[in-house]
Amino acid sequence: MEAHDSSEPPLDSSEPPLEQTLITLRKNQSPEISDDGRNHRPAETLLIPEDEESREFMVLPMIDISRLSFEAGHAERTECEEEIAEAARHWGFFQVVNHGIPTQVIEQMTVEQKKAFRQPFEVKEAGGGKLQNRQASSYRWGNPAAKCLRQMFWSEEFRIPTGDIYGIEDQSLRSAMEMYATAVTVLAEKIAGVLAGNLGTGGSYFRENCTVRTCHLRLNRYPPCPFSEEVFGIVPHTDSDFLTIVCQDAVGGLQLMKDDGCWVSVSPNPNALVINIGDMLEAWSNGAYKSARHRVITSLEEERFSIAFFYCPKSETVIRSCISPAIYRDFSFREYQLQVQKDVRATGDKVGLKRFLV
Ligand SMILES: C=C1C[C@]23C[C@@]1(O)CC[C@H]2[C@@]12CC[C@H](O)[C@@](C)(C(=O)O1)[C@H]2[C@@H]3C(=O)O
Ligand SMILES: O=C(O)CCC(=O)C(=O)O
Ligand SMILES: [Fe+2]
């Protein structure tokens, strides 16, 4: 498709100019080669190499966490805790059902999320519109740091520290976000407590360092993408936090890398939330729990929405392994975030925990 072909339907006024960005970045790619008279895209520019293994048949662990409640028996509770720790060790990812977040709270949040993204692009860019708050603008699209097509994101996002939600001017969005963030924080504390307990420590480190002011909510939207062979919805990455709770709609596209290097799709389940371990928990657990790489593949026909809650510590929190000898040196969360930003600005990619190995 040509960049500004007059036969194209007019751009919806809420859409960010992703296609123009893609066309610009495409020009930076190496030229197409032609040997047998046909054009071939050079192998290094294929988004997903032809020989890449994926395990479509593998199913992410699904854990019923009603068994963590005090009404459940000791044996049931222990079994559930072990399932969580086992999944965090081998997958870095799992799904939870009977998680205690009321359906109505999730539904209200997703309705408000859609309304926020349906605003005109100019309104979103000029401070977030409905997400306007007394703090900095929370809207981003594409990937401003992308230097080539494989670093671009075919998505837009609103990102807000949970402590700034009270400042959102739109009343219905604020109230939906407050309820969602409160419920999901309780869930994150519960899971972090189980994971700490399984390593023989208490969950107080998390409760003391992760507060309502330190966590983040990120609302994601992935528009339908006519270039899904060229661009990711979100590039392969690990999350920087302790753990992330993702609520995805029915479209699908989230994939994670299993410890054997194969990509596995996370099939949407309307009753489940997806939980993944972040870099801070990998470092704190001395590598026992895995911060798995994950990515989002775009859909040709359907837009996709997801909500990610990042369970993060205070900037000054020191991340020190609870097991010795430590494989990572001590560092503060601030130091880690600054290093990630520096790497992303310089190269377009996140280096991550490798930089902090002893
Ligand atoms: C371009 C990038 C921004 C990002 C690091 C990355 O290389 C790819 C993923 C992005 C992400 C997603 C999860 C977290 O929000 C984040 C802080 C992280 O660790 O990886 C962001 C990074 C970011 O926005 O700086
Ligand atoms: O959209 C998703 O399913 C995952 C989003 C994600 O990985 C992120 O926001 O860090
Ligand atoms: Fe992520």
ipTM: 0.95
Which ligand 2 atom sits nearest the alpha carbon of residue 306? 1
CATH superfamily of 21-316: B-lactam Antibiotic, Isopenicillin N Synthase; Chain (2.60.120.330)
Q: How far is the CA of 239 from the centre of ligand 1 (A)?
A: 7
Q: Where are the domains of the chain?
A: 21-316
Pocket of ligand 1 (CB under 6 A): 143, 145, 235, 237, 239-240, 340-341, 344, 349-350
Q: How far is the CA of 39 from the centre of ligand 1 (A)?
A: 34
**Nearest one of 145, 130, 138 to 163, comparing CA atoms:** 138
Three-state secondary structure call for residue 215: coil
Which ligand 2 atom sits nearest the alpha carbon of residue 155? 1
User: For residue 252, is it left (φ>0), alpha (ψ between -120 and 50) or beta?
Assistant: left
Please confirm, yes or no, whether 118 is among the known catalytic residues. no
Give bridge partners of residue 62 from the DSSP assignment.
95
List for the chain the helix, strand, coil content (%; round to 5): 35, 20, 45
pLDDT tens per residue across span 262-306: 999 999 999 999 999 999 999 999 999 999 999 999 999 999 999
pLDDT tens per residue across span 80-130: 999 999 999 999 999 999 999 999 999 999 999 999 999 999 999 987 667
CA separation, residue 182 to residues 41, 115, 163, 214 (Å)? 48, 21, 11, 13
Catalytic residue among 55, 304, 320, 355: 304
**pTM score, whole prediction:** 0.92
**Are 277 and 93 a contacting pair, CB within 8 Å?**
yes
